[in-house]
Amino acid sequence: MPIWRFILPLTVQLALILSVPAQAIYTTITGRTVVLQTVPVDPYDFLRGYYQVLSYDISRKDNLSQLPGWNKFELESSGKFSAQNPTNIYVILAAPETTENLDIPKVWKPVDVSAKQPQNLPDNQIAIQGKFNGWTVNYGLETYYMPEDKREDINQDIRAAQTTVNLEGEIPFVVEVKVSSQGQAVPVSLWVRDRNYKF
């Protein structure tokens, strides 16, 4: 039996296995850092095994429907999405005006939505891609796996953060992500008040 019959399928399988983390690694290295406002989905049940489910302000339809581009997005994607068949959505985020001398990074604000990937955005904006199912948008950033040795510390910080509101009226609980030029996002760290937890 020729050796290529063994090597070729092995190479294809290896390429498929490596392609999954390759996109995340590429985004982490080349992506732009963006900060998203988040909250735990169930603030009264912090422990769900060793992970925390997160929800973002830019995940909720009621927030996104207030943005320019929403009506056009609904027209272009009308009837094309469901829980089983979500459609692509791009949320355009604008950088905060100042990021100096802060204990916690400032949140990027949503300014527009689109069914297609936007081109030629200003330098202070970036588009993040998600999947819209008719009610919420999933960005693949919704689960934070906690290191076992830090789990209780993180949960205590989350509880304390929920009673704190900053000058902008936001709870100091944000996620720092890297976003690629194609809109793919990878979580980098979780900020709870002034404490940073790396993913």
Cα radius of gyration (the chain): 19
Q: Using CA atoms, how far apart are residues 150 and 189, in angstroms rounded to an integer? A: 14
Q: Is residue 45 part of a domain?
A: yes
Q: Is residue 16 part of a domain?
A: no
Q: What is the pLDDT of residues 147-181, one digit of tens each?
A: 777 777 877 777 777 676 655 556 668 899 999 99
Q: Using CA atoms, how far apart are residues 161 and 172, in angstroms rounded to an integer? A: 6
Q: Is residue 5 part of a domain?
A: no
Domain containing 111 equals: 31-198
Q: Is residue 163 part of a domain?
A: yes
Q: Is residue 25 part of a domain?
A: no
CB 128 within 8 A of CB 110: no
pLDDT band with cut points at 50, 70 and 90 for residue 193: confident
Torsion of CA 105, 198, 152, 168, to 10 degrees: 10
pLDDT of residue 36: 93
3-state secondary structure of 96: coil
Q: Which residues pair with 32 in a beta bridge?
A: 179
pLDDT band with cut points at 50, 70 and 90 for residue 89: very high
pLDDT band with cut points at 50, 70 and 90 for residue 198: confident
Most distant CA atoms of the chain, gap in Å = 71
Q: Is residue 152 part of a domain?
A: yes
Q: Is residue 82 part of a domain?
A: yes
Q: Is residue 35 part of a domain?
A: yes
Count structural domains, the chain. Answer: 1
